[in-house]
C-alpha cells in the first residue's frame, strides 16, 4: 500500500499526539497488569475445579471473575482522560486557535464523550452483565477452557493482554480526538490526519490529508478499533 503524503508540520503534530497518547497508554497498562495476573490465577482455580460447570454456571462464574478487570480498566481510563486534558489542550494550540479553557471534566463524562463506531467508551464498558468488552474477554477465556486449559492457558493470557491493549489504546485515541476538537475554534477547513507507517490501514489511508469545509464531510475518528487518525484545522 502506497501511503499518502502529509506536510512536515502535520506529520510532526500527528507523531507528537501519538507519543502523548502512547505514554498514557503505557501507564494505564502497567497498572492493569496486576489485575490480569489475579484473573489468571482465579482461572487456574476454575480450571482445576473437581466438578464441571454447566454452560449457565460457567457464564455466571466468568462474569464474576472478569468484572473486577472491567471495572479497573474503566477507573484507570477515566483518571488518564482527566490527566490528559491539559496536555491535549497544549497540543491543540500548536496547530490551531483554541477557545478559552474550560474547567476539567469528570471521568465519567469524558468516558461518555469518547466514541468509537457510534458507541461511547462508557457504553462499551458499562456493566450490563457483561459489558461488550467483557463479553469478548469471556468468549476468549471460555474457548481456552473448553479446548484444554493447560495447553491453551498461555494463548488465553496473550489474548486478554491483546484485548486490553486494543481497548486502552483506542479509548485514549477517542478521548484525544474528542478533546482536541472541543478546544479548537471552529476553523474554515478541516484536514484528516493519520500516523503514517506500515500499520496505517486501507480503511484510513484514502482519507489522509483530505480536507473539507464541513467537519461532517470527513469520517469520525477513530474510524475503528486501533485507529490512530484524527481531524485537525487545515
- The rounded distance, in Å, linking the Cα atoms of 215 and 129 is 36
Q: What is the DSSP string of 126-193?
A: --SSS-HHHHHHHHHHHHHHHH-HHHHHHHHHHHHHHHHHHHHHHHHHHHHHHHHHHHBPPPS-EEEE
Q: Is the pLDDT of residue 233 over 80?
A: yes
Domain boundaries, the chain: 8-187
Phi, psi dihedrals of residue 67, rounded to the nearest 5° = -60, -40
Model confidence pLDDT, tens digit, residues 143-182: 999 999 999 999 999 999 999 999 999 999 999 999 999 9
User: Does pTM surpass 0.85?
Assistant: yes
Model confidence pLDDT, tens digit, residues 118-134: 899 999 999 777 898 99
Q: What is the mean pLDDT of the chain?
A: 93
Q: Is the pLDDT of residue 1 over 60?
A: no
Q: Is the pLDDT of residue 93 over 80?
A: yes
pLDDT of the residue at 2 = 60
160 and 65 in contact (C-beta within 8 Å)? no
Amino acid at each position: 500500500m502506497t501511503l499518502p503524503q502529509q506536510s512536515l508540520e502535520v506529520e510532526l503534530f500527528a507523531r507528537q499526539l501519538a507519543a502523548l497518547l502512547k505514554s498514557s497508554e503505557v501507564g494505564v497498562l502497567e497498572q492493569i497488569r496486576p489485575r490480569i495476573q489475579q484473573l489468571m490465577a482465579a482461572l487456574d482455580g476454575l480450571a482445576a475445579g473437581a466438578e464441571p460447570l454447566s454452560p449457565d454456571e460457567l457464564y455466571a462464574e466468568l462474569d464474576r471473575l472478569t468484572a473486577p478487570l472491567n471495572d479497573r480498566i474503566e477507573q484507570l481510563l477515566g483518571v488518564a482522560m482527566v490527566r490528559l486534558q491539559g496536555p491535549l489542550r497544549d497540543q491543540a494550540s500548536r496547530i490551531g486557535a483554541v477557545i478559552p479553557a474550560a474547567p476539567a471534566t469528570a471521568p465519567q463524562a469524558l468516558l461518555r464523550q469518547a466514541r468509537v463506531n457510534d458507541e461511547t467508551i462508557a457504553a462499551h464498558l458499562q456493566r450490563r452483565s457483561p459489558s461488550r468488552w467483557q463479553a469478548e474477554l469471556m468468549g476468549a477465556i471460555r474457548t481456552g477452557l473448553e479446548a484444554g486449559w493447560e495447553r491453551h492457558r498461555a494463548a488465553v493470557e496473550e489474548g486478554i493482554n491483546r484485548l486490553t491493549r486494543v481497548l486502552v489504546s483506542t479509548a485514549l485515541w477517542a478521548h484525544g480526538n474528542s478533546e482536541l476538537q472541543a478546544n479548537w475554534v471552529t476553523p474554515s477547513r478541516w484536514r484528516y490526519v493519520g500516523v503514517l507507517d506500515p500499520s496505517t490501514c486501507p480503511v484510513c489511508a484514502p482519507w489522509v490529508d483530505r480536507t473539507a469545509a464541513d467537519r461532517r464531510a470527513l469520517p469520525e475518528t477513530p474510524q475503528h478499533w486501533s485507529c490512530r487518525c484524527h481531524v485537525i484545522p487545515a
